[in-house]
């Protein structure tokens, strides 16, 4: 009986998500960009790192779809490979922030004695501007793709922690949790079996927004030289190199900017759709 109710609930959530046209559009955008990132080595016409001085600053044409940059590198190939860098960093950030944020959020929300210490530390991290804190951490670790992901994970973990903590505080007072305590269930069992599953909905929604923030932040770090070092084909690196020629060769900044905007738009639309679909109070 319980399994049938669970299946009915999942079907209703899926139906709500399918009726949300903007969410479906967001999913399609993300799937398309993910497909581009996976197939980049097969669909890019040129090596994104090969220099061709004779072809520098060519505007978009049949040979170079997005034109070329100041070194004659094919911009279309570099943008495709840039999707791999941005999505890789985003996935790593989401994985780390979800794991750490869930761990600290569960402890802070369930054990009141530890709540003050954990949340004050999180508040201290949140008091710093996002990009400034990210740049500071990368400066300590040295610029690289992985270090940029670690820095952004440190930046966004406090936000995930607060989301999970608020969900735990709400669930902690529920009847089924009190019933489990009265039956002698251990704190570990209550957290793992009763509280954690009910925190997954806000965590999933938060993860989509963290992904979007990570893509933007990675581009920002690369733009100021704190991300993957050149000549890595990162969207932020391409923007940084093209800013000097924005009047004479605007396509160098236009195309990576479009891909960043589309990625963030797709993730935000997907996050909004998941929030509406997974929220049990939504009646559609």
Q: Which of 100-109, 131-140, 223-232 has the lowest mean pLDDT?
A: 223-232
**Which band of pLDDT confidence, cut at 50, 70 and 90, is reported for residue 283?**
very low
Is the pLDDT at 179 greater than 50? The verdict is yes
The span from the CA of 10 to the CA of 18, in Å, is: 12
For residue 39, being part of any structural domain is answered with yes
Contact, 222 vs 274, CB < 8 A?
no
How many domains does one find in the chain?
A: 1
For residue 187, being part of any structural domain is answered with yes
Pairwise pLDDT comparison (9 vs 151), residue with the higher score: 151
Q: Which residues pair with 212 in a beta bridge?
A: none
Contact, 164 vs 197, CB < 8 A?
no
For residue 199, being part of any structural domain is answered with yes
Dihedrals φ, ψ of 74, to 5°?
A: -70, 120
* Stretch 153-158: mean pLDDT: 93
The span from the CA of 195 to the CA of 171, in Å, is: 7
Contact, 118 vs 180, CB < 8 A?
no
HSE, side-chain direction, 13 A CA sphere, residue 179: 5
The SS3 of residue 130 is helix
Structural domain containing residue 266: 2-278
Instruction: Kindly state the DSSP code that residue 190 receives in the 8-state scheme.
Output: I
pLDDT of residue 8: 46
Is the pLDDT at 10 greater than 80? The verdict is no
**CATH number where 134 lies:** 1.10.3720.10
Is the pLDDT at 182 greater than 60? The verdict is yes
Instruction: Kindly state the DSSP code that residue 74 receives in the 8-state scheme.
Output: B
For residue 283, being part of any structural domain is answered with no
For residue 17, being part of any structural domain is answered with yes
* Stretch 157-175: mean pLDDT: 89
For residue 96, being part of any structural domain is answered with yes
For residue 172, being part of any structural domain is answered with yes
Global pTM?
0.87
pLDDT of residue 263: 94
pLDDT of residue 171: 87
The span from the CA of 52 to the CA of 170, in Å, is: 60
pLDDT of residue 274: 82
First-last CA distance in the chain: 25
pLDDT of residue 3: 47
For residue 216, being part of any structural domain is answered with yes
pLDDT of residue 13: 63
Is the pLDDT at 20 greater than 80? The verdict is no
pLDDT of residue 4: 47
Question: Distances from the Cα of 62 to the Cαs of 65, 68, 74, 82, 125, in angstroms?
Answer: 6, 12, 12, 21, 49
């Amino acid at each position: 009986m319980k399994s049938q109710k669970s299946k009915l609930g999942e079907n209703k959530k899926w139906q709500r998500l399918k009726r949300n046209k903007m969410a479906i559009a967001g999913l399609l955008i993300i799937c398309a960009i993910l497909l581009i990132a996976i197939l980049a080595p097969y669909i890019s016409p040129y090596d994104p790192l090969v220099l061709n001085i004779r072809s520098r600053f060519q505007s978009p044409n049949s040979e170079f779809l997005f034109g070329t940059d100041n070194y004659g590198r094919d911009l279309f190939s570099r943008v495709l490979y840039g999707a791999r860098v941005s999505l890789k960093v985003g996935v790593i950030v989401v994985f780390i922030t979800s794991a750490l944020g869930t761990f600290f959020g569960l402890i802070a929300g369930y054990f009141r004695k530890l709540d003050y210490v954990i949340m004050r530390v999180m508040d201290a991290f949140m008091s710093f501007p996002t990009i400034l804190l990210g740049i500071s951490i990368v400066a300590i670790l040295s610029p690289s793709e992985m270090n940029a992901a670690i820095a952004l994970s440190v930046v966004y973990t406090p936000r995930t922690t607060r989301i999970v903590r608020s969900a735990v505080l709400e669930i902690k007072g529920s009847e089924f949790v009190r019933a489990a305590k009265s039956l002698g269930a251990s704190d570990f069992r209550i957290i793992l079996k009763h509280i954690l599953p009910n925190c997954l909905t806000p965590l999933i929604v938060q993860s989509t927004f963290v992904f979007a923030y990570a893509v933007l932040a990675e581009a920002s770090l690369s733009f100021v030289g704190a991300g993957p070092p050149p000549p890595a084909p990162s969207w932020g690196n391409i923007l940084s190199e093209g800013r000097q020629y924005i009047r004479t060769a605007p396509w160098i900044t236009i195309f990576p900017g479009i891909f960043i905007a589309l990625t963030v738009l797709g993730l935000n639309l997907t996050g909004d759709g998941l929030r509406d679909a997974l929220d049990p109070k939504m009646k559609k």
